[in-house]
Structures are given as C-alpha cells and as structure tokens.
Structure 1
Amino acid sequence: MSATITILDIYNSLEQVMDPEIPVLSVIDLGMITSVELDETGALIKMIPTFAACPAVSYIQQQISTIVGNDLGIKVVVEIDKTVHWESNRMSDAAKEKLKNFGIAPPQVHNGNVSAEIMLHTACPHCNSANTYLRSPFGSTLCRAIHYCKQCGHVFEQFKPVE
C-alpha cells in the first residue's frame, strides 16, 4: 500500500459511491459512513444502512469496497456498524438540496421525536408550496412516503424523517 494514501483520500473516493435508489446521493451525503481506519493492510470502512431492512445494503457494501479499492489501489473491508443507527438528521444540507432537485422532498429536521404528524407538513419539491397532503406513508421504497401538491398538481415522494 502506498504511504501517500490518507483517510481524506478515502472519504473523497466515497463521494463516488452513490445510493442505488437515489443515484444523486452518495453514501457521504446520506451520512452512512461512521468511521474509516487505514493501516498497512488497507482500509476498514464502517457504515450504517438508512433503514434496517434496506435491500441495497450488501450492494452498497460491495460498491464501497470496489470503488474505493479500485480508485486507491488498496484492500477495503466494509462492515455494518452495529453501535450506531441511522437517522435522517445525518443527511447533509447539500444532500437535502440534491433530493429536492431530484424531485423528492427531503426529510424535515427533527429533535429526536418523529411522529406521523411531521410528515403532514411537507413542502412540494417542484413548486415549494406547503399546500400538500400525505397520500400514503408507504412509497416506492421503505424510506419514502407519497404526497400530493394541491398547488401544482404533482404527486411526489418524500424521504421519510427517521429518528
């Protein structure tokens, strides 16, 4: 392994690992990486899934290992960090803006107390109107809900707030 590779290099490489369900967001944007360790044998990257039953977890692990390993020419081991659980407040502001531009309403910031009520106040990512309603708390994936905008007429998904 080259002595010039740094943990910052690994984080920069992780920016290329995109969520397979929302391909405008990286694992960094989503706050899925909990730690990176680097030694003479390679890198150990710990991650957390956005949802416990997320079907893409093993695919994301494989993508992290392949992309970072190929990019930096090192061995990469990816483990699920069982000491931390993901919450939507881990998403960066840039990630929320990318979601909105992709047509998905970002999750609201919460104070650790998420109730069904929080999803009732979701602005439309297309026109920014607050004149929306929750059509279904179940969207195309576990992490999304479906809303309707009375202002522009769009049906849109929201990335659910999670505590």
Structure 2
Amino acid sequence: MVTTTREEARERARAAAAAVTDPELPMLTLADLGILRRVEAGADGTAVVWITPTYSGCPALAEMRADVDRAVRAAGFDRVEVRTELSPPWTTDWITEEGRRKLAEHGISPPGSAPPRAAGPVPLTLLPTRTVPHCPLCGSDRTEELSRFGATSCKSLHRCRSCLEPFEHVKEI
C-alpha cells in the first residue's frame, strides 16, 4: 500500500477539481475561470472543495458541484464535500491569462478589467458599462453590441465592423 502525505492528497484533490470544465464554457476549467477557491484533504479520505460561482444565481452551479464531486472521487477520495463560497464575490479579474487565451482561441472575446468596487454592498448601477471588446477573430476594436445577452447571462453578443463576424464577449463583473 502506498501512503501519501496530507499535502500530496490535497494536491491530488486540487488537481482533479482544477481540471473540471465549466458546463457553459467547456474550453475552460474551473481553475482557468478562477472559480476554484481552495481544497483541503483529510487523513480520513475526505476532500473539501470550495468554489465561487460567477454569480449567485448561476444555473451551472449544480452541474459544477456534481462534476467536481465525480472528479475528486475518481482521484481516490471516499467522501467529497463541495462548498459554495460567495465572499468575496467572483470577478472576471480572476480569469487566468490561460483562460483568456482559450476564450479568444474559441472566438469569444475575453473580458477587460472589472470595474473597481468599493468595500461593502455592491452598488446598483443602472447605466450600461462602456466596454469596447476587441474582435477575437481579427483583433479590431471597431465592434458593436447587438444584444446585452448572449447564449448565457455572463456573455453579450457583438459584431465586428471590420471583418463583419459576430462574436460573444464575456461581460466584466
């Protein structure tokens, strides 16, 4: 029987959870999106994984939890607990450079920097943000928004005025 240290077990659980793909953006892992917060592993074969959804009403959260549970169990853990951590809230600034590259490679404009937030409650802003996404196909900033809502609520639909191709953009949060 091969014994592992608690740290080796934690790294094994983390690697399994980090490799889980997002159900709405399957080219990205939970680690790419910055959704995976932390992982702990106990000596008793239990793994605890904390994730932060992109927003509290994210319909993909149940699927993410189930996928993390399956992946960590497949990595050799008998008991897996997936916890949701809402504070601090997720921001598009948590998307890794690798994640941004993968989005662009798949024709989705990655987000720019998230708007700055003051400490405390999230202020309600009724005015649209003035982000001008670059076309992921030709790189032009001559783009226009066609719809504030794309295939998922975290994306908007745009068209490039240079190459005339439509594309989705991940909204800055």
| Shared fold per TM-score greater than 0.5 | yes
Equivalent residue number for residue 28 of structure 1:
31
Equivalent residue number for residue 58 of structure 2:
54
Equivalent residue number for residue 7 of structure 1:
10
Report the CA distance between 1:9 and its aligned residue.
1.9
Equivalent residue number for residue 153 of structure 1:
164
Q: Which runs of 5+ in 2 are unaligned?
A: 118-124
Report the CA distance between 1:10 and its aligned residue.
2.1
Q: Does 1:104 align with 2:108?
A: yes
Q: Which runs of 5+ in 1 are unaligned?
A: none
Secondary structure at 1:134 match in 2: strand
Deviates more, 1:107-116 or 1:17-26: 107-116
**Contact (CA 8 Å) 1:10, 1:68: kept in 2 or not?**
yes
Q: Deviations over 1:60-93 (max 9, x none)?
A: 0010010111123442110111332111001001
**Contact (CA 8 Å) 2:12, 2:75: kept in 1 or not?**
no
Report the CA distance between 1:137 and its aligned residue.
1.1
Report the CA distance between 1:2 and its aligned residue.
5.0
TM-score (norm 2): 0.85
Report the CA distance between 1:53 and its aligned residue.
1.5
**Contact (CA 8 Å) 2:47, 2:80: kept in 1 or not?**
yes
Equivalent residue number for residue 139 of structure 2:
128
TM alignment of 1:51-90, pairs within 5 A: 51-90=55-94
Report the CA distance between 1:152 and its aligned residue.
0.8
Report the CA distance between 1:98 and its aligned residue.
0.2
TM-score (norm 1): 0.90
Secondary structure at 1:96 match in 2: helix
- What is the aligned length? 161
Give the letter for the 1:9 counterpart. Answer: R
Distance 1:15-1:35 versus aligned 2 partners, 3 A rule: closer
Report the CA distance between 1:151 and its aligned residue.
0.7
Give the letter for the 1:87 counterpart. Answer: T
Give the percent of matched residue pairs that are identical in Structure 1 and Structure 2.
Answer: 27
Whole-Å separation in 2 of the counterparts to 1:87 and 1:68:
25
Q: Deviations over 1:11-59 (max 9, x none)?
A: 2212320001111100000001122111123111111111221111011
Whole-Å separation in 1 of the counterparts to 2:3 and 2:29:
26
Secondary structure at 1:157 match in 2: strand
Deviates more, 1:24-33 or 1:75-84: 75-84
**Contact (CA 8 Å) 1:127, 1:152: kept in 2 or not?**
yes
State the structure with more CA Rg: 2
Alignment partner for residue 18 of structure 1, among 21, 30, 39? 21
